[in-house]
Every structure is written in structure tokens, then in C-alpha cells.
Structure 1
């Protein structure tokens, strides 16, 4: 690596160090006032205000999402390489920031501010992208569809967790609503006139339980009853369930959705009900790690004393709409621990850890590593070429 790049890395680390108190205050502000999917108005105002304060050009409400934004800095001509640093800031209902998105936002903010401070005027563009509704709905799905990542050479973010892993094994996922239509009747006075929609839905759950025993690793289906009728003395004319489906790959997810549709139609035929099967929100594709970028991030993070390793085989960490971004452009999504493996995300304990001293150290280290990785992409054509080559090779292999 050239001396010039090394000196820029040093300036970026110095910038993050100078910003640490400011970044931590942003993180704590988000943590104190958690907002769920598509309601992150305070978070968006706070983050855009910080970026605007340091000279970024802001575009709010991108991709038709009121709480999404893009902040831009770099050459006026718009030519040269382009890097996007992604920020998530939605919280979980009842649990607050039990997935640590306050840290994702503050580390992404720190990286963006540090790159601008370290590079000054440069040929290329840096985008700080606000991505709402990762936990439910998929803001990045809408942003990909709107072309927001067209022309981007690398998409960078990190995620807090209970593992120190170079990348996150994230599955493809979908939310599917199944509704059965029957016929209402009095269950005692005219039982033969009724067609029990709730009974059909229950039968679907039983059928899916049998199906689950033969699913491949990484594939899961789980559901809840969202409408089971209104009174016990009326045969339910309508019943509805919501099902979450996951597959280790996007292809495996598509197969599982087809299986669900087949099961629902079979149950409808057997119970003489009508059935509707519909996707809810956008599907999340599986994450495609770019080893070029994740290797650079891991190397930079190691300067802070945090060593990343490969994920444990066969372990999956859920799903993210970042998977959709990673199919389009080279991306990295490392996992950095803010508590030990005795803990778990999406718990009150994890939410508490996301505002603790270890979280602050991780936020600062991740901001530095993200900034330095972004600088590598912006300054080194060989990094960009290798990252794109790796993405194209994975696409050709169907990975």
C-alpha cells in the first residue's frame, strides 16, 4: 500500500478519535428514544443534522421513504469511484435497540465524517446512506429498486453481535400472509352448513410441521395466527396466518415459498376453503460476502485489538435487507461482539449492552475500520477491481 494511503488512514483514525464523544452522544440519543420501522423521524433528523453540519449535501426522503436519506461528499464532477457507508437506526418493538442499530448508525456516521476530513477534495464520491426499516419492511429493498446503489463500487457497514466474525451468515427471508375463506354458521344449530376457515389454518400449521422435518440446513418456516375468528359460537368464515420463511440462499427461499403455496392449496382443497397466499413487504436475499472488502475491514479493525475469525459452519444469524445490496455491489457486513456468546441479540440484555462501555469501544473501532476500508476503495483501483471480480465470480457460480 502506498505511503499516501497510509497517511490518509492515519488522518482518518485521528478524526474518529476526535469525534468519539460526539459519536457516542449520537448513539446514546438514538438508544434513549428508539423508533420502529418507518417511524425513525427523530433518528433521521439527528443523523442528517450531524452530516449537514460537516458539509455533506443532503437528499431526504429518498426511494419514497420519509425517514431515508443520502448524504454526499466528493468531486463536483461526479466522476471517479463511489463508496456507500450504510446506517441503520430502526429499533425493535418493546425491546428498543436490542439489535444495536444505534451503534451501526453512529459508527457509519463517524466513518463518513472521518473520510471527508481525511481526504478533503478527492476524485470520487462518498455516500452516507440512511436505511430505515431493516427489522421489518426492508428499506434497502426499496432503495435498491429505486436505483440508489447504481454506480456504487462498495457498500460498507458493520453489525454488533455476540461474535467477532469477518462476515455475517445471513439467510434469505420472506414474510408471507395466508388467508383461508370458509362459510360462517352456528356450530351447534347448523354445523353442516359451516366451512371452518380456522380449522384449515390449523391444518396448514400441522402440515408445515411435517414439512419442517425435511428442510435443508438454513431453511425454516414459522408462523403466527393473525386472525382466528371473532366468537366461539360462530364457525370462522375467515382465518389468517403470517409466516416467516428463511433459506440459506435466495434459491432455497424460493423453493420454500413454493412449498408453502403447495401446502396451502392442498389444505384448501381438502377442507373446501378458498385460500390466498401473498408476500408482505420485499424479500430479503441472502448476504454475499465480498472477501476483498471483509479482509480489509478485518485488518483495519485488528489495529484496535479486535480479531475477527470466520463464522462457525452451519450457524446462521438471521436475515437482513443488506443481502439485496450485496447482490448488486461488493459489500461487507462484519459481526463485532459487544457482549459474550452467553448472550443473544433481540433481548433486553443486548439492548442494555448496546449502551455500555464495550459498545463504545466497538463503535469507535468499527468507525475507524469502515473509514479506512472506504479510503482503500476510493484510492486504490486494484481494490475496486478485485472486489468487483469477486462479486462477478460468485454470481457466475450461483453463490
Structure 2
């Protein structure tokens, strides 16, 4: 069953009536940035709004004090609106998560207001620590999305793109163990762990020249010894790995392990390689759902296009959600293409008049797409069919 135009008009009215309140929430979050797993005031503000609207709110989700779910309705079909609200240390909301939270909240409220009893469930999912820690990864592992038919969010950016070219990423800690010695008194007794670590950087630099598009390794030295008159017996580096797909990331991690083992053998050291963060999978876009969102957003005069070929915009834990259910993560510009997120300029843009207009438009488009998911069985079937082709997961 398709959604009647009268329902879309009701959604537009609901969002219009809430526009000022949603901007107040986005502004309050912007003025009071909180960081990974410590977004207590943000979570309290958002769950309070959902409770007042009649949602069944559950907190401490997946063992995270600032994660929550809020449900209206029962059973399937079910659509999840995702809220992010962590900020960047030193930069505040320079990724616009204040707008993501307000839009997800507003879309959930508007959808609930128009969805008839028995039509399914509207779920607002509060996910902390997207910038580092991977709240959605833990929520996926805890089964939050097991009975969900679609996960929807938007992200403010510098492009108007219908889908997000987001790579897979993880970090590894590599430690080399050698043997301490005096560099002058008994230099032949020493086994220089730092020299081994430096050699690993050299090997990885050579490897980098033949990696596939979007794959790279960026490393830093986190421990290089204790004094210049001691041959370092231990040295450690932290390496960030990114790749266009999760499989390519696994391949890259294998190359890192092989390189570290080879260096250890060549230098007489021993090494340990361990993953230091959760893994963010690459994002798998639901073309069917992204098309609906783009069409709804177009009514506000914002035209979304495919991303530019060969351009990648970092990584996000939404990738892990997209491996479980059909998902969207479009970018909607709040500043021009010569700008960049994770900058003071983008933080300012997240509280601008343009951001306010985008917030209202994206909230309406998300709410309309959510209702499409609940009412249109054909759309759900198309989304799941595309998901199975991409992921191969039975459903």
C-alpha cells in the first residue's frame, strides 16, 4: 500500500509545528558538547522528549549508560530513526551530530503522530560515541536491530549526496620486544625494538604505493624508549587502517600482520599485533530507501546526487548497522564544498541559519521515508532484496 498524499501533508504539518522546538534542541546540544560515552545531558534531553510523547524508553542499552531506545507501536514492520549526539574534543559539534539528533528525534515524533495503531513500530535509537568507540557496533551486537526493517539517518556535510561513500576502518597496536643495552658500553648485546618499529613504517610506506583505491595505513609511535642511553627494549605503534570494503580491510590487516612478523624475524625482535578499536564496516546503501528520501527532500528544493567517483568521506559505525538491515546515510550540505567537517568552520555551520533550514527539511524527509517503510510492503521487499544482494544475509 502506498502512502496517501494526505499523510505526507500531515507529516509536513507535524514537522512545521515542531520546527522551533527541534532547533532549540539542536542549539542546546551545540552549546553543550559532550564526548564519547559521556553524553549524559544529551541523552537526558532526548529521552525526556520521547517519554513526553508517549514512547517506551529504555536506557543503558548494550551496556552503555548514554545509549537508549524509544519505541512507539508494536511488532513488525519496524523502522529505526538513528540519533547521534557525541561531539569532538576541542571542536564541539564539528560533525553536526546536534543536527542528527534533532532530526532523528523530530522524525520519530512526526512519524508516531501519523502512524495508525497496528501499522508497526517506530523506534528511536540513541547511539553514543560515533566519533570514537562505536556505539552502534555494540548495539548491533546486542540485537537492537534484529527486528528492524530499515535504519534511517542523515548527516550534515559539504555535499548534497544521496548516499555515503564510507570506508571500513579499525586500528591496530603493534609492539616490538627487544633487549636493553648500553649503546656504547655493550651495543652488541642490545636488540633495538625502536629500530624494528621504524623499519615497519618503512615497509608499510612501500606497501602503500600498491594498495587499492581507498586503502591506506596511517601510523604513529606511541612508545619509543625511555632514554637515549638505553637501547629500547620495547617500542609500540598505533596504526589506523582504512579500506573501501570490509573484506579489503581484512586483507589489509593481514598484510600488516605479515609485515610486522617479517620485520621481527629480520631484526631479532618479537612482536605482538592486536586490534585496538572496534571495527567499523563499510557502509552499504539501500538504493530503494535512499531514492525515497531523496524524493522527499527534493520537495524542499534540495537535490541529492550520487557521490563523486573516487571520493571517500571517512568511516562510521552506521556501516555495521547497514550489514544487518537496509539503511540510509545521505549527506545534506550545511556549508559549501570548499569547507570540511571536523573543523571550527563546520562547528559554526552546525548552528547557522542554513543548518536550521536543512534540519527542518531532513526531518520531514526522514519522517516521510519512515512512514513509507511501515506502509509500503513493496518498498520493504525491494529494500530487503537489495540488502541480500549486497550482504548475502538471509532475512
TM-score category (smaller protein): over 0.9
Question: Could you tell me which residue of structure 2 aligns to residue 20 of structure 1?
Answer: 19
- Inter-partner Cα distance in structure 1 for 2:269 and 2:28: 51
Find runs of 4+ consecutive structure 1 residues off by over 3 angstroms.
Answer: none
Counterpart contact for 2:173–2:275, Cα < 8 Å: yes
Q: How many residues align?
A: 393
Match of 2:228 among 223, 232, 244: 232
1:162 aligns with 2:158: yes
Structure 1 stretches of 5 or more lacking a match? none
- Inter-partner Cα distance in structure 1 for 2:43 and 2:231: 47
How far is the alpha carbon of 1:396 from its aligned partner? 4.5
- Inter-partner Cα distance in structure 2 for 1:133 and 1:331: 19
Question: Could you tell me which residue of structure 2 aligns to residue 29 of structure 1?
Answer: 28
- Inter-partner Cα distance in structure 2 for 1:227 and 1:97: 31
1:241 aligns with 2:237: yes
| SS of corresponding position for 1:48 | helix
| SS of corresponding position for 2:51 | helix
Counterpart contact for 1:5–1:379, Cα < 8 Å: no
The two structures have a TM-score, normalised by structure 2, of 0.97
The two structures have a TM-score, normalised by structure 1, of 0.96
1:111 aligns with 2:96: no
- Inter-partner Cα distance in structure 2 for 1:49 and 1:179: 46
- Inter-partner Cα distance in structure 1 for 2:268 and 2:20: 64
Counterpart contact for 2:76–2:148, Cα < 8 Å: no
How far is the alpha carbon of 1:79 from its aligned partner? 2.6
- Inter-partner Cα distance in structure 1 for 2:75 and 2:92: 40
How far is the alpha carbon of 1:146 from its aligned partner? 0.8
Counterpart contact for 2:145–2:321, Cα < 8 Å: yes
Question: Could you tell me which residue of structure 2 aligns to residue 51 of structure 1?
Answer: 50
Structure 2 stretches of 5 or more lacking a match? none
How far is the alpha carbon of 1:204 from its aligned partner? 0.8
1:331 aligns with 2:330: no
Question: Could you tell me which residue of structure 1 aligns to residue 199 of structure 2?
Answer: 203
Give the 5 Å matches for 1:60-209.
60-74=59-73, 78-209=74-205
Question: Could you tell me which residue of structure 2 aligns to residue 369 of structure 1?
Answer: 365
1:285 aligns with 2:263: no
- Inter-partner Cα distance in structure 2 for 1:79 and 1:31: 35
How far is the alpha carbon of 1:120 from its aligned partner? 5.0
Match of 2:341 among 339, 342, 345: 345
- Inter-partner Cα distance in structure 2 for 1:117 and 1:385: 25
Aligned alpha-carbon RMSD (Å): 1.3
1:39 aligns with 2:38: yes
| SS of corresponding position for 1:186 | coil
| SS of corresponding position for 1:132 | coil
| SS of corresponding position for 2:266 | helix
How far is the alpha carbon of 1:343 from its aligned partner? 0.4
How far is the alpha carbon of 1:181 from its aligned partner? 1.1
Counterpart contact for 1:301–1:307, Cα < 8 Å: yes
Tell me the alpha carbon deviations over residues 22-45 of structure 1, each in whole angstroms, 9 at most, x when there is no partner: 111111111112112111111111
- Inter-partner Cα distance in structure 2 for 1:265 and 1:90: 37
How far is the alpha carbon of 1:245 from its aligned partner? 0.5
Match of 1:270 among 266, 269, 291: 266
| SS of corresponding position for 2:4 | helix
